[in-house]
Amino acid sequence: MRVVVTGGAGFLGSHLCEALVRRGDTVVCADDLSTGRLENIEHLRHLGCEFVRADVTMPLELSGSVDAVAHLASPASPPDYLRLPLETLAVGSRGTENALRLATQHGARFVLASTSEVYGDPLVHPQHEEYWGNVNPIGPRSVYDEAKRYAEAVTTAYRGRRANTGILRIFNTYGPRMRPCDGRVVSSFIVQALSGEPLTVYGSGDQTRSFCYVDDLVRGLVAMIDSAEAGPLNIGNPQERTVRELAQLVLEITGSSSAIEFHRLPQNDPTRRRPVVTRVREALGWSPEVSIEEGLRRTVQWFAARPDAVAAAALLLRGGQSGADRGRPAADQLPVQAPPAPVAEQGAPAQV
**Which active-site residues does the annotation give?**
144
Q: Which of residues 223-252 bind ligand UDP (CB under 6 A)?
A: 243
**Should residue 127 be labelled a site residue for ligand UDP when binding is judged by CB under 6 A?**
no
Is the Cβ–Cβ distance between 78 and 65 less than 8 Å?
no
Question: Residue 226 contacts by C-beta under 8 Å, 6 or more apart in sequence?
Answer: none
Minimum separation from the CB atom of position 43 to ligand UDP (A) = 26
**73 closest CA partner among 48, 42, 50, 52:** 52
Tell me, by CB under 6 A, how many residues bind ligand UDP: 16
Which stretch, 94-102, 127-135, 200-208, 303-311, contacts ligand UDP (CB under 6 A)?
Answer: 200-208
- CB-based contacts of 188, cutoff 8 Å, min separation 6: 199, 200, 317, 322
Among 35, 200, 237, 258, binds ligand UDP (CB under 6 A): 200
**Preceding omega of 126 cis (within 30 degrees of 0):** yes
- Contact with ligand UDP (CB under 6 A) among 202, 213, 286, 303: 202
By beta-carbon proximity to ligand UDP, the closer residue of 18 and 145 is 145
Rule CB under 6 A: is residue 119 a binding residue for ligand UDP?
Answer: no
DSSP letter for each residue of 99-138? HHHHHHHTT-EEEEEEEGGGGBS-SSSSB-TT---B--TT
190 binds ligand UDP (CB under 6 A): no
Q: Which of 26, 188, 195, 242 binds ligand UDP (CB under 6 A)?
A: 188
Which candidate, 277, 200, 211, 284, places its Cα nearest to that of 244? Answer: 200
Nearer to ligand UDP, 8 or 270 (CB): 270
- 167 forms beta bridges with 112
Computed over its alpha carbons, how large is the radius of gyration of the chain? 19
Please answer whether residues 74 and 95 qualify as being in contact, where contact means their C-beta atoms are separated by less than 8 angstroms.
yes
Site for ligand UDP contains 258 (CB under 6 A): no
Q: Which of 5, 185, 276, 290 binds ligand UDP (CB under 6 A)?
A: 185
Q: Under the criterion CB under 6 A, does residue 269 sit at the interface with ligand UDP?
A: yes
Based on the shown chain and the rule CB under 6 A, indicate whether residue 326 belongs to the binding site for ligand UDP: no
Site for ligand UDP in 57-96 (CB under 6 A): 77-78
**What string of DSSP letters covers 152-216?**
HHHHHHHHHTT--EEEEEEPPEE-TT--TTS--HHHHHHHHHHHTPPEEEETTS--EEE-EEHHH
Q: Which range touches ligand UDP (CB under 6 A), out of 31-39, 91-99, 183-191, 250-258?
A: 183-191
Query: Exactly one of 215, 322, 323, 325 binds ligand UDP (CB under 6 A); which one?
Result: 322
Task: Give dist(CA 108, CA 118) in Å, integer.
Answer: 25
Rule CB under 6 A: choose which of 209, 241, 264, 279 binds ligand UDP: 209
Residues in contact with ligand UDP by CB under 6 A are 77-78, 172, 184-185, 188, 200-202, 207, 209, 243, 266, 269, 322, 324
